[in-house]
Structure 1
């Protein structure tokens, strides 16, 4: 076949496109039952395929197509729905910095620069970088929002999770949690991973022997390797010993994978709030500890331990050079040595679930009970 044509299918009321142009095959629904409208779509789609055959995929790839491919590849869905709705079928080649800036202002008119960066610029750039790797878009340096000069840096109270805490303080908080979320928090503090990265880890991503963890789709859309602290080895060995078909490593006390939603990193909030409530009954205020605290604390402790900034950035995924991506799945001795400099408080080591993490992971402490 040398052209596209309209066909009918018995299982669909709509017209379908079928055929090929210059070696590019098409078999897709027009989404339209009306013949005349379908003919218009046929003409438009034929031109798109012809252009693609001559100029490459870059000429027609849309933001929505790139976002869908990014998600299918394991990318984070967080904050993407609003961006997909806004940019829709606009071709990537037509998107410019002013389009991204305008989207951020329209979608988050009253938000701070930090919020716009987190909820608009970061997911947009992750999709764009994915498109670049697929040769759907050109490499481009996107500018992010900055705080206006002269503005105070303390206009509002700092929210939980934005500052590090000492590891003995974190240990006291984790000791007040149910085992399943306590295991998640332990892994966050001893890897420096983002919560959403930890929730998406699968069995195949853990190399206990090599002391290495593979994050296949990070927040910025790049794969990376994470060194494994010796403290985590017994925990990960136990979790990998599961015999069911579920591939996710970290799960709720019900044995189900944590749900990733556009509005949050998963179902860890109940465990956090429960621990805070139990500690408050004892007169202890640890509201400065939350899932993201682990990443900030890990970063700070690595600096305190004298770890070179480049090594620290490699561990946390801040470095995105070609060499670091090339060695994603290859254990790196300097990184493993560095992560083991993180302190391990006696209280953390004494938690009762360490003797059998797998069986304890199904235990649950309700809000009203004390640990």
Structure 2
């Protein structure tokens, strides 16, 4: 049976109805122009025929794959240029050379790191999600690499790029207001990416089971994160919040931390404020930022002689089928591993620790014997 055009009562647009090799369709053409609607009918009929013979992989466009990825919770960051370039292109027609050429067109005179972050990473995340839906074949996409001999080492350490000791982290965090201090504490004892923590919701947290379930991550793969015993009072308190946005971690105003399209900055003011307050005390700590927590967890687990496979699962580096299968189930080896992270007495002494939810709205510095205005 072929598809037919018809007019639906109350709608100015033409509609499609019919079945092509067992695939039924009843949908709007989204146009009132009959000639345009007829063109859409022919193309839709051809697509259904291809799908019935070759499967869904023959007809899914990049735009369709992106829409599905976003519905599943994927990030919109850097996605618009990709959709503009590949929107209606079938997934099966996109190849490595198309991606390489697009990266140089969109981001000329940029480093391989920039092209990788702003184009290859979001593209591959969409592709991997499409692969899970069996819309595309698994592929190993080649990412841009730095040319040999072009790497220049910075003379100063970039904040967040290296681990720090837990004693140093504690001293820094306790010079922040309670709300950002709680965020930083969770980052240093979970190894989560900041964006994962900022979007965490109560339903993702199983305090009794010492487990966090992340369905949507940067890589597009779900994963489970063990909860350190130190964080139990923090999560227990914050999960009692009855009003406001759904995110577990909120700023002192009671609103969610904003996720910016092409930049960070959610804790920039708090980070700068802590550095300034420490500097007034003659203490200079400029190598701590939100991503420092992830590097510190990774390094400390190695020092603690945790098996590399366990470490990789905690940080979300392991993507084998077994890891995905147990995403939602608390894993004793991972919980035992995360509990090997040390907790300095200074960190335990934070005044807000007795009642995190009660202190989260206080826009002041706590825990080192004095109070002042905090960013």
Assess if the C-alpha contact under 8 Å between 1:278 and 1:369 holds in 2. Answer: no
Displacement, 1:287? 2.7
Distance in 1, matches of 2:277 and 2:109, equals: 35
Distance in 1, matches of 2:331 and 2:264, equals: 28
Cross-structure match for 2:368: none
Assess if the C-alpha contact under 8 Å between 2:63 and 2:88 holds in 1. Answer: yes
Distance in 1, matches of 2:19 and 2:252, equals: 51
- Which 5+ residue runs of structure 1 have no aligned equivalent? none
Distance in 1, matches of 2:18 and 2:105, equals: 40
Distance in 2, matches of 1:247 and 1:133, equals: 28
Deviations 1:138-168 (A, max 9, x none): 1111111222122234157553211112222
Displacement, 1:272? 2.4
Deviations 1:36-89 (A, max 9, x none): 122212211221122112211111111111111011011122222222222111
Distance in 2, matches of 1:201 and 1:266, equals: 18
- SS of corresponding position for 2:305: coil
Assess if the C-alpha contact under 8 Å between 1:225 and 1:315 holds in 2. Answer: yes
Distance in 1, matches of 2:362 and 2:37, equals: 58
TM-score by length of 1: 0.92
Cross-structure match for 1:127: 126
Displacement, 1:357? 0.5
Assess if the C-alpha contact under 8 Å between 1:78 and 1:264 holds in 2. Answer: no
Deviations 1:212-239 (A, max 9, x none): 1111111111111111111101000111
Assess if the C-alpha contact under 8 Å between 1:22 and 1:50 holds in 2. Answer: yes
**Cα distance change of structure 1 residues 249 and 145 upon mapping to structure 2, 3 Å threshold:** same
**Cα distance change of structure 1 residues 301 and 229 upon mapping to structure 2, 3 Å threshold:** same
Cross-structure match for 2:373: 369
Displacement, 1:262? 2.1
Displacement, 1:29? 3.7
Cross-structure match for 1:58: 57
- SS of corresponding position for 1:262: coil
- SS of corresponding position for 1:61: coil
Cross-structure match for 2:208: 209
**Cα distance change of structure 1 residues 285 and 340 upon mapping to structure 2, 3 Å threshold:** same
Distance in 1, matches of 2:95 and 2:246, equals: 39
Cross-structure match for 1:83: 82
Assess if the C-alpha contact under 8 Å between 1:80 and 1:262 holds in 2. Answer: no
Assess if the C-alpha contact under 8 Å between 1:195 and 1:265 holds in 2. Answer: no
**Cα distance change of structure 1 residues 274 and 26 upon mapping to structure 2, 3 Å threshold:** farther
Displacement, 1:296? 0.7
Q: Does 1:189 align with 2:188?
A: yes
- SS of corresponding position for 1:78: coil
Moved more, 246-255 or 261-270: 261-270
Assess if the C-alpha contact under 8 Å between 2:157 and 2:287 holds in 1. Answer: no
Cross-structure match for 2:302: 303
Assess if the C-alpha contact under 8 Å between 2:166 and 2:344 holds in 1. Answer: yes
Cross-structure match for 2:349: 350
Deviations 1:157-208 (A, max 9, x none): 5532111122222112211222111111111110001111112222121111
- Which 5+ residue runs of structure 2 have no aligned equivalent? 366-371
Assess if the C-alpha contact under 8 Å between 2:177 and 2:374 holds in 1. Answer: no
Cross-structure match for 1:272: 271
Assess if the C-alpha contact under 8 Å between 1:32 and 1:38 holds in 2. Answer: yes
TM-score by length of 2: 0.91
Displacement, 1:11? 5.8
- SS of corresponding position for 2:300: helix
Distance in 2, matches of 1:25 and 1:158, equals: 60
Assess if the C-alpha contact under 8 Å between 2:251 and 2:257 holds in 1. Answer: yes
Deviations 1:76-119 (A, max 9, x none): 22222222222111111011111121222222222222222222
Moved more, 252-261 or 342-351: 252-261
Distance in 2, matches of 1:111 and 1:142, equals: 20
